Chains A and B, each alone.
Chain A
Amino acid sequence: MSAETLSGGHSVATLSDSDACAREPIHIPGSIQPIGHLFLVDPASGAIWCRALTGARDRRPTNEAFFRAAQKAEYISDLMGSRFLEEVNARVTENGGSRHIGNRVIDGASFDVFAYETEGAIAVECELRTDPDRDGPSFDEINRGFLEAISKRGTLSEVLRLAAQCVRSITRFDRVLIYRFEPDWTGVVVAEDRNDVLPSYLDLRFPASDIPLQARELYRINRTRSVTDANYTPLLIDPPLHPRTGRPIDLTNSTLRSVSPVHLQYMRNMGTGASMSISILRDGRLWGLISCHNRMARPVNYSRRSACDLVAQLLAIRIASIEALEIAEDRRRLSQRYSELLAEMSKSSHFSTGLVSRTDDLLGVVRAAGAAVITPSGTRVVGEAPSIASIDKIVAWLSLRAPFDVFQTDRLSSECELNEEVSSRASGLLAISISQLHDSFVLWFRPELIREVKWGGDPNDKKSDLSPRASFDTWRETVRGRSKPWQIAEVDAATELRTAIVEIVLRNAEELAAMNERLVAANKELEAFSYSVSHDLRAPFRHIVGFAQLLKDLESGNLSERGHHYIETIIAAAISAGKLVDDLLRFSQMSRVTLNKLPIDMNALAEEVREMADPSPGSDAIRWRIQRLPEIFADPVLMRTVLQNLIENALKFSRDRTPATVEIGGWQDDDETTIYVRDNGAGFDMAFVGKLFGVFQRLHRVEDYEGTGIGLANVRRIVERHGGRVWAEGSVGNGATFYFAVPSEVEPKVQCET
């Protein structure tokens, strides 16, 4: 690689780059390559503050006179003429890059002159033009040929190969590579053009540490760099410090900058005597490099480098358009599936139902092998996915990380601990969160794709911090635990799906809230209505009963048997209606009364109710079995009603048993306290257990057992208002047991229903 390794070389992990940077920053080497002269100059006066000069002993024989003048000169105008400073000041901008001032011939030697600003000084660089004149097609022609070739439709690999060819035609180096950076800054050689002098590096990978962070930063700013001879001796800048800053001179924009000795060693290990590289930038980021290597030392002058830079820039533009086209194509292919999913979700009661009912589309929209839709009500899985237990583990791990909207990885097992079976199914994970508060996610999985990759030498081979890798022989690695990476269009599809689902969920929530409000309002109205109706109905029934009885008393002598029967029936019916109304009234009151929760001694309460209910306590007709009952935290008045209803029922339905047995018991758990009332009476068919607690639901005929069927509904209502539950067991002819449980709370809570 025509790139620079720091003396602090490390193994593949990228985090240590920043440590290495601090140790040997490459932009302040304090020296230049012996290919020209450097002058650090005062922008105002043109006084030469610092200089580094290439002399005869550096095998540059033709500038002896200039060399001596340059050693002595006090002002840059002495060397470059009186108009020079003005010209330079006009061209150079603060924080701008190096400017090519022009080609100068001084004392018979030909130079390319550059200038750039560096922390308040101007650096003037005179690079010796030493390479022979070109023969063959001009750079212009070569570049035009390249542009034409890549303008036609071409795949990315074709275009990259053409670029390598073009740069090799220009530079005539032994080998030209197109080197592409992966997201973790590992480099891969994706195209190559070469003769047989140097070995092929095509498809090889190089660790991120080969071109560490500091180098990559510099390459973003200064697009070309070269080493014409790996065996050069650096020329020190004298004096070494910038007079304005007191620190070493920043040579980021320098053409003559000397490279690290470690890098030179690296080149020698690689078997190259000369190298050059040009940055390929996309949106200001480093996409890759065009790297040129030559076995022997070889100079590359400015015009050659410039032509290659043009190739790099044209290439970058072409890469951008090809990649954009690919993404657009990809999006188009996925959008069909996306639309189907959207349509299905809109029709479904819940978005998860919509998603899993279109398996192909759900998987195809991101090209996954398996998927899981996780909601508070459960996890639904399609395709090739890990087990639910493993999915739960993955979700738990995701939830522990920072909150996310979309998450993707192609190497899940390196981040989350998974067993092998899961790893083979879920090396790739693409996840979207719908709501992290309520545990709603959609996860997509990709299986492990085992690949063999070739490294240019063992990426972990580092003898010590100071010497780079010695061997560049191909080193094979079997990559495990990775899936096919997620493409931009696929991740975008997932993101859009997330937005759509979130909107649907929100809309549903709003509708639900509105519906709830309407329900609550309707309920209130209904209760108010039923209350007032019941209230107003009492009087007429009272009147019917009263007058019917008066009539009976009055005309009893004149009435036939049938007449008596009719009147009795009228009275009974009216009384019954009155009872119904009373029950309804009490029932609708239940929801409006404020709960006043206290600890209740259930045994005492049971005793009171028993006394009221049992007409003849001494007799053997009813056998009571009241066990030790736990304390309950509830409203005493309402609890009395509950016990009354249950005990009255027990007695009513067991009255034709001798003896009628009523058992009352209970127990306390951590979270709830349960009481039951059991009788040995008529019982009920378990098939109808669901109807037992319904309002006005009866399971027996009224002539067999009287009652309006509201007692149990009352019980249920009261218990549920306490946050508890009711249930029952029974069998026909063998009695019944009625249970209720209320939460075992400690703190008193006043519940008010609206």
Chain B
Amino acid sequence: MRDLKPILLVEDSPNDVELTLAALERCQLANNVDVVRDGAEALDYLHRRGTYEKRNTGNPVVVLLDLKLPKVDGLEVLGEIKRDAGLHATPVVMLTSSREERDLMASYNLGVNAFVVKPVEFEHFFEAIRDLGMFWAVLNEPPPHRQRP
């Protein structure tokens, strides 16, 4: 199982966590989904520090990142990921609540890989998550593995 990279979901709303997990489940991916509830946790997880010191899984194959997060904002997390030499190759998909936020994001030009506006109609949501899950996790070639200290 060590080879299979996790999917990291950064989402603060419990309902949205549940819905996203249900959608991902439908995809029947082999990958595990790890969930963190705010930006600070996300960074701890990614840097393997704090509560996640002992994490022995590799870098996530994709990070599903909500925009509005407590403690550390989604944008900040994104920024850190992209600035970090070890992390910046990690694909990040921003989840936004509205198209306007999406426009907002675009101006930051932080090198985000994809957007999903969380649609009201669940079918669409399922499809969107599913497509992402399939693409990044199964079909996509993960970046070359880097040695971790």
Which of A541, A543, A547, A582 has most B Cβ within 10 Å?
A543
Q: A535-B97, A535-B98 are in contact. Are A550 and B125 (CB under 8 A)?
A: no
CA distance A542 to B18 in the complex (A): 12
Residues on the A chain within 8 Å of B123, using CB? 549
Residues on the B chain within 8 Å of A578, using CB? 120-121
In the assembled complex, the CB of B22 is this many whole angstroms from the nearest CB of chain A, namely: 6
Contact indicator A538/B122 (Cβ below 8 Å): no
Contact indicator A543/B121 (Cβ below 8 Å): no
Taking the complex as formed, is B100 at the interface, i.e. its CB lies under 8 A from any CB of chain A? yes
CA distance A542 to B97 in the complex (A): 10
Taking the complex as formed, is A579 at the interface, i.e. its CB lies under 8 A from any CB of chain B? yes
Taking the complex as formed, is B15 at the interface, i.e. its CB lies under 8 A from any CB of chain A? yes
Residues on the A chain within 8 Å of B118, using CB? 538-539, 542
Contact indicator B19/A539 (Cβ below 8 Å): no
Residues on the A chain within 8 Å of B122, using CB? 542, 545-546, 548-550
Contact indicator B120/A575 (Cβ below 8 Å): yes
Interface of A is mostly: helix
Binary interface encoding of chain B residues 1-38 relative to chain A, with 1 for a CB under 8 A from any of its CBs, else 0: 00000000000010110110010000000000000000
Residues on the B chain within 8 Å of A306, using CB? none
Q: Choose among A538, A547, A585 the residue that contacts B19 (Cβ–Cβ < 8 A).
A: A547
Counting contact residues on chain B (CB < 8 A from A), the size range is: 10 to 19
Contact indicator B100/A585 (Cβ below 8 Å): yes
Contact indicator B15/A538 (Cβ below 8 Å): no
Contact indicator B125/A546 (Cβ below 8 Å): yes
Give the residue name and chain of the A residue nearest to B20 (CB).
A546
Contact indicator A582/B100 (Cβ below 8 Å): no
Binary interface encoding of chain A residues 348-386 relative to chain B, with 1 for a CB under 8 A from any of its CBs, else 0: 000000000000000000000000000000000000000
Residues on the A chain within 8 Å of B119, using CB? 542
Residues on the B chain within 8 Å of A541, using CB? 120
Residues on the A chain within 8 Å of B100, using CB? 535, 585, 589
Binary interface encoding of chain B residues 80-110 relative to chain A, with 1 for a CB under 8 A from any of its CBs, else 0: 0000000000000000011010000000000
In the assembled complex, the CB of A541 is this many whole angstroms from the nearest CB of chain B, namely: 5
Give the residue name and chain of the A residue nearest to B15 (CB).
A543
Interface of B is mostly: helix
CA distance A579 to B119 in the complex (A): 10
Q: Choose among A538, A549, A589 the residue that contacts B97 (Cβ–Cβ < 8 A).
A: A538
Q: A549-B122, A578-B120 are in contact. Are A539 and B22 (CB under 8 A)?
A: no
CA distance A547 to B123 in the complex (A): 11
In the assembled complex, the CB of A644 is this many whole angstroms from the nearest CB of chain B, namely: 15
CA distance A560 to B97 in the complex (A): 35
Interface size (A, Cβ < 8 Å)?
20
In the assembled complex, the CB of A640 is this many whole angstroms from the nearest CB of chain B, namely: 15
Contact indicator B19/A543 (Cβ below 8 Å): yes
Contact indicator A579/B98 (Cβ below 8 Å): no
CA distance A550 to B126 in the complex (A): 11
Q: Choose among B18, B22, B120 the residue that contacts A545 (Cβ–Cβ < 8 A).
A: B120
Which of A542, A547, A550 has most B Cβ within 10 Å?
A542
In the assembled complex, the CB of B82 is this many whole angstroms from the nearest CB of chain A, namely: 26
Contact indicator A538/B98 (Cβ below 8 Å): yes
In the assembled complex, the CB of B116 is this many whole angstroms from the nearest CB of chain A, namely: 12
Give the residue name and chain of the B residue nearest to A577 (CB).
B120
CA distance A581 to B97 in the complex (A): 12
Q: A546-B125, A547-B19, A550-B22 are in contact. Are A582 and B120 (CB under 8 A)?
A: yes
CA distance A578 to B118 in the complex (A): 11
Give the residue name and chain of the A residue nearest to B123 (CB).
A549
Give the residue name and chain of the B residue nearest to A548 (CB).
B122
Give the residue name and chain of the B residue nearest to A574 (CB).
B120
Contact indicator A539/B121 (Cβ below 8 Å): no
Contact indicator B120/A538 (Cβ below 8 Å): yes
Contact indicator A546/B19 (Cβ below 8 Å): yes
Contact indicator B120/A547 (Cβ below 8 Å): no
CA distance A582 to B120 in the complex (A): 9
Which of B19, B97, B122 has most A Cβ within 10 Å?
B122
CA distance A541 to B118 in the complex (A): 11
In the assembled complex, the CB of A386 is this many whole angstroms from the nearest CB of chain B, namely: 61
Give the residue name and chain of the B residue nearest to A576 (CB).
B120
Give the residue name and chain of the B residue nearest to A542 (CB).
B120
Residues on the B chain within 8 Å of A547, using CB? 15, 18-19
B118-140 at interface with A (beta carbon < 8 Å): 118-123, 125
Binary interface encoding of chain A residues 540-584 relative to chain B, with 1 for a CB under 8 A from any of its CBs, else 0: 011101111110000000000000000000000011001101100
Q: A545-B120, A546-B19, A579-B120 are in contact. Are A539 and B125 (CB under 8 A)?
A: no
Binary interface encoding of chain A residues 595-607 relative to chain B, with 1 for a CB under 8 A from any of its CBs, else 0: 0000000000000
B47-74 at interface with A (beta carbon < 8 Å): none
CA distance A541 to B125 in the complex (A): 13
A520-547 at interface with B (beta carbon < 8 Å): 535, 538-539, 541-543, 545-547
CA distance A541 to B97 in the complex (A): 12
Contact indicator B97/A543 (Cβ below 8 Å): no
Residues on the A chain within 8 Å of B22, using CB? 546, 550
Contact indicator B98/A542 (Cβ below 8 Å): no
Residues on the B chain within 8 Å of A579, using CB? 120
Give the residue name and chain of the B residue nearest to A581 (CB).
B120
CA distance A550 to B15 in the complex (A): 12
CA distance A545 to B121 in the complex (A): 6
CA distance A547 to B22 in the complex (A): 10
Q: A542-B120, A542-B122 are in contact. Are A585 and B16 (CB under 8 A)?
A: no
In the assembled complex, the CB of B107 is this many whole angstroms from the nearest CB of chain A, namely: 14
Give the residue name and chain of the A residue nearest to B125 (CB).
A546
Residues on the B chain within 8 Å of A574, using CB? 120
A-B contact sample (19 more), CB < 8 A, given A535-B98, A538-B120, A539-B13? A535-B97, A538-B98, A538-B118, A539-B16, A539-B118, A542-B16, A542-B119, A542-B122, A545-B120, A545-B121, A546-B19, A546-B22, A546-B122, A546-B125, A547-B15, A547-B19, A548-B122, A549-B122, A550-B122
The 9 closest A-B pairs by CB, nearest first: A578-B120, A546-B19, A543-B15, A546-B122, A545-B122, A549-B122, A542-B120, A541-B120, A575-B121
A-B contact pairs, 30 of them (CB 8 A): A535-B97, A535-B98, A535-B100, A538-B98, A538-B118, A538-B120, A539-B13, A539-B15, A539-B16, A539-B118, A541-B120, A542-B19, A542-B122, A543-B15, A543-B16, A545-B121, A546-B19, A546-B22, A546-B122, A546-B125, A547-B18, A547-B19, A550-B22, A575-B120, A575-B121, A578-B120, A578-B121, A581-B120, A585-B100, A589-B100
